[in-house]
Amino acid sequence: MKAIKWVTIITCLTTFLLSCSASVKNDWEALVSNPENHGQIKDYVLSKLIREEYQSVEDLFDYLIDKKTRNKDGFHLSSTLYEELAESYKRGELYLYDAWCEQTSHHSAFVVRGLYRIYEGWRVRGSQAASLVPEENFRTFRDKLLLAKHNYTTAYRLNQKDPNIAAGMMMIVVGTAAGEEEREKWFERGKEADETFYGIYAVKLTDLLPKWGGDLQEALNFAQTLYDNPPKDSMTYLLMLLIIDEFFDDTDKITTLFSSHEEIETFIDDVATRYKSEY
């Protein structure tokens, strides 16, 4: 009788634990499955980090990356979530990410903390030309990027399938003026992880722009190629809009692509139609 009683207790306990695990998983699945709820995911993750319930957060990121889940605008939801969490540097939530990194070996913790450091660095540096940045600010910027690189290096060691890691490393190597070989290495790694990932192409285009030491024609060719022949299920044709935004007020440069502003408006309408047909 005692043996039967213990078996019953263990069975009930196992069922209870499994149901708890399922409910934990289902709470984020309900948020992910409905695009209208995506805006709540960041707060969900922060609440889990505050309670040090890391497993559910890590399961969430694994799901988003494995399924290549998109938000209602068509962009990868994992990228959006990383950005939203990293932008909390404005509120000083680094302590949450430090605690997470200390207690896990999951790559997502290091991606969040690495991107947090990148945003910190760019806030100090600003978007002006390097020659206009005060030396002290530039030193702080580089220090923040080195901290970010340490986190992304750890993240990549733990997981090579998350394209957000390569995109982050691209931001770092561009910001630190690393060599062409290093830039190309991370661009290729990003495509290998997920060739539909818009972020890796956007960072590459930024790197090619003249204001970051690139070549205008090379940037145009890159964006035009991805407009004409985007990887299947990708949104890289939108890169042409970045080109237009960058050079709209520069007549000499924009006329290498379009003969008039009317032609630009027609092109933008075509892109919008293409985008609306997909999302």
Residue 199 has pLDDT above 90, yes or no: yes
The 10 Å Cβ neighbour count of residue 70 is 21
Rounded to the nearest integer, the mean pLDDT of the chain is 88
- Of the pLDDT bands very low, low, confident and very high (cuts 50, 70, 90), residue 26 is low
pLDDT beyond 50 at 98: yes
C-alpha–C-alpha distance, residues 151 and 153, integer Å: 5
Confidence of residue 12 (pLDDT cuts 50, 70, 90): very low
Strands (E), the chain: none
Over residues 4-12, mean pLDDT: 43
> Can you give the pTM of this predicted structure?
0.87
Could you tell me if 181 and 173 are in contact, meaning their C-beta atoms sit under 8 angstroms apart? no
Across the range 67-83, mean pLDDT stands at 95
Question: 40-54, 167-181, 186-200: which range is least confident on average?
Answer: 167-181
Query: In angstroms, rounded to a whole number, what is the distance separating the alpha carbons of residues 153 and 111?
Result: 9
Look at the chain and count its residues.
Answer: 279
Q: Is 186 exposed, middle or buried (0-12, 13-18, 19+ CB in 10 A)?
A: buried
* Residue percentage of the chain with pLDDT more than 90: 68
pLDDT of residue 89: 67
Alpha carbons 16 and 154: distance in angstroms, whole number: 36
